[in-house]
Structure 1
Amino acid sequence: MFCSLPSLTALLLTLAYCTAFVKAAYSLVDNYSGASLISGFNFFSEPDPTHGFVRYLNQNDAQSQGLLSVSGSSVYIGVDSKNKAPNGRASVRLESKKLYKKGLFILDLAHMPSSTCGTWPAFWTWGSGKTWPELGEIDIIEGVHTNTANTMVLHTADGCSISGTGLTGVVKTKNCYINAPGQSPNAGCAIESSSSSSFGTPFNAAGGGVYAMEWTSSGIKIWHWLRDAIPADVKSGNNPNPGGWGTPQGNFAGGCNFDTKFGDQKIVLDTTFCGDWAGNVWTSNPTCKSLAATCNDYVANNPGAFAESYWRVNYLKIFRQT
């Protein structure tokens, strides 16, 4: 791109424009859809680190039990909704084989797990290789039970906080340190979406949509659009420009060195049940509390409740800034 104008003022304006253009330029690194999503991810089948009432299946078992299927570029990732599960409900947790540090991550979903008591679905990244959360964690999509507004969170070691400005979401906590004084354990710095259709059942009713997370040295931003509001540059595929997307729902910036607090990250997509979050807040949700004495009891004995607890992924694209 050639940028030149005659006057000094015009030159400065042009340089500012060109700098913004260069910063916004991204090139496609990986495109996971259909079979490439399956081949690009590992199937985690160990006990749930978040102590969920779940049994994560390997690829063969997930496919044979109907919890995983590919149709063209679309991937279905479900949970067992047919059988009682006294030892935890069968589900799938995918973790990327590649590690990523900074970039633009765009996920197009036709469907996410519905707003159902007992569920805890999430799309997130975490820094593996050291004791959690020494390399950070970025929760892009997350919620429990009957939630319809998405929760976005960063979890870090000590020394990372956000200003809570430049966003449309609602800041719940500002200190990203998992043991921050004055915050619940593991709360991190949390932002709730201002959209009541950004998660679960209403998201699905709108035909799904797109989530985008931009991670740079300056911070982490998260956007969300329902199907009928996806920006043209996202729809077109390979030249997204976050500079034209307006104010993000989540803007994590401020007193944090994002180059040191966040290392190489795995991408994770999973659905767990109960556990450290959903299990602990079961009795504080009137709808769920009325269904069973405990979260585990409900999940174990009501398989049909989880028929809509599935992901249908159109694509996951990762871009690197150029």
Structure 2
Amino acid sequence: MPRVRLMATRGLLLCAFSGVAHAAYALKEDFGNPSAFLDKFDFFTEPDPTHGFVEYVDQATAETAGLVKVNEEFVYMGVDFTTMAPERGRRSVRIASKSVYNHGLVILDLTHMPGNACGSWPAFWMVGPDWPAGGEIDIIEGVSLLDYNAVALHTTTGCTIDATGFTGDIQTANCYYRAPEQASNVGCGIKVPSPQSFGDGFNAAGGGVYATEWTSTGFKTWFFSRDAVPADITAGTPDPSSWSVPDAAFAGDCNFERHFWDMQIVFDTTFCGDWAGNSDVWANSGNCASFAPTCQEYVANNPAAFEQAYWEVVSLKVYEEGNSTQTAAAGAFPSFSRSRVMRNLP
């Protein structure tokens, strides 16, 4: 997410990949059924590095308060939507994978993501050590009432991308988080214009699958609506070379081996902060400013607005190139049928 983060529920594939030609992906790590999913993550409880009006809580507190729940179909990660005017910020969870990854194919199956709400800032992302040295990719991210997904990279100096090879709309080309020609910590970003790719539009359509391929030459991301998920993903044998043109692709004048390594997988939902709470952003976030003069005032006094601010993850896996001790069947996705622009500086 467009911010420094350290730190994912049953629907993700991460596959190591190297070289130019596409190679077969084999299951490396299965994040397991919902009951085992949280064992593979750490709960982040420090103050929000992006200065959000949020209190990240530990696992025990989250379970007691109902902020995390598991059943046979999915993992739920939500926020407090009942407390009026919390002093320390609205309670939420932020988790980071215990494992780190280098290269790969990330496939996340969600049936619900945090819905659109003034002041909300959800994200699904990956981040390396010693930010921004180890890099960051924001796979799903947006604020308030945005009706599109904003994909972005954040790096140290010396990384720019080309404006070709994808169907989205490029917003900025310099991935350096302090690029002088861009606003602070914007990085290089690509807008995925489909309303089904984020927030309320995503949820109304029954969710979908996100895929992110990380190779030695860059990143590519895809969003597949529920009725358009490739058969090879469902079978647990993903083959990006057979998919459509990606929604976002980051390649160009950048040494990706130098800028990205040992990345963790992260989920979080914060409020306000450096992006959603920025005065200019708040003033131009639909009709949000008509509800309250500041983002924090609105978030503090309107808990019910965030009842839909939750993640519902169906599957999460990690694949890598080469041999695997697990079978393709074990890597298959479960069947399912049911009704930073502004970034924080370290």
Structure 1-normalised TM-score? 0.91
In structure 1, what is the Cα distance between the partners aligned to 2:119 and 2:248? 26
Find out whether 1:249 has 2:247 as its counterpart. yes
In structure 2, what is the Cα distance between the partners aligned to 1:161 and 1:201? 32
Matched with 1:210 is: 209
Find out whether 1:80 has 2:70 as its counterpart. no
In structure 2, what is the Cα distance between the partners aligned to 1:286 and 1:150? 16
| CA-atom RMSD in angstroms | 1.5
In structure 2, what is the Cα distance between the partners aligned to 1:57 and 1:224? 30
Give the match's secondary structure for 1:95: strand
Distance 1:148 1:24, change over 3 A: farther
Structure 2: gaps spanning 5 or more residues: 1-17, 323-346
Contact preservation (8 Å) 1:24, 1:243: no
Matched with 2:121 is: 120
Matched with 2:197 is: 198
In structure 1, what is the Cα distance between the partners aligned to 2:285 and 2:227? 31
In structure 2, what is the Cα distance between the partners aligned to 1:193 and 1:283? 23
Q: How do 1:170-209 and structure 2 match up within 5 A?
A: 170-209=169-208
Question: Displacement of 1:22 after TM fit?
Answer: 6.5
In structure 2, what is the Cα distance between the partners aligned to 1:106 and 1:170? 22
Give the match's secondary structure for 2:165: coil
Of 251, 264, 267 in structure 2, the residue corresponding to residue 266 of structure 1 is 264
Question: Displacement of 1:21 after TM fit?
Answer: 11
Contact preservation (8 Å) 1:274, 1:295: yes
Contact preservation (8 Å) 1:81, 1:307: yes
Residue identity matched to 2:110: L
In structure 1, what is the Cα distance between the partners aligned to 2:152 and 2:41? 23
Find out whether 1:31 has 2:30 as its counterpart. yes
Aligned length: 301
Contact preservation (8 Å) 2:141, 2:150: yes
Contact preservation (8 Å) 1:45, 1:55: yes
Q: How do 1:285-300 and structure 2 match up within 5 A?
A: 285-300=285-300
Find out whether 1:310 has 2:329 as its counterpart. no
Question: Displacement of 1:121 after TM fit?
Answer: 0.2
Q: Which string of whole-angstrom CA distances, capped at 9 and with x for unpartnered residues, describes residues 31-81 of structure 1?
A: 224122200000111111111100001000000001111101410000001
4+ runs of 1 displaced by more than 3 Å?
19-22
In structure 1, what is the Cα distance between the partners aligned to 2:136 and 2:157? 13
Question: Displacement of 1:86 after TM fit?
Answer: 3.3
Q: Which string of whole-angstrom CA distances, capped at 9 and with x for unpartnered residues, describes residues 239-283 of structure 1?
A: 100001110001000001111110111110000000010000111
Structure with greater helix share of residues: 1
Find out whether 1:276 has 2:277 as its counterpart. no
Structure 1: gaps spanning 5 or more residues: 1-18
Give the match's secondary structure for 2:252: coil
Contact preservation (8 Å) 1:122, 1:143: yes
In structure 2, what is the Cα distance between the partners aligned to 1:191 and 1:210? 18
Question: Displacement of 1:181 after TM fit?
Answer: 2.0
Question: Displacement of 1:218 after TM fit?
Answer: 1.1
Structure 2-normalised TM-score? 0.85
In structure 1, what is the Cα distance between the partners aligned to 2:20 and 2:183? 41
Contact preservation (8 Å) 1:163, 1:174: yes
Distance 1:265 1:21, change over 3 A: closer
Find out whether 1:64 has 2:59 as its counterpart. no
Residue identity matched to 2:258: T
In structure 2, what is the Cα distance between the partners aligned to 1:265 and 1:180? 22
Q: Which string of whole-angstrom CA distances, capped at 9 and with x for unpartnered residues, describes residues 276-313 of structure 1?
A: 10000111224111110100001101110000000000
Give the match's secondary structure for 1:101: coil
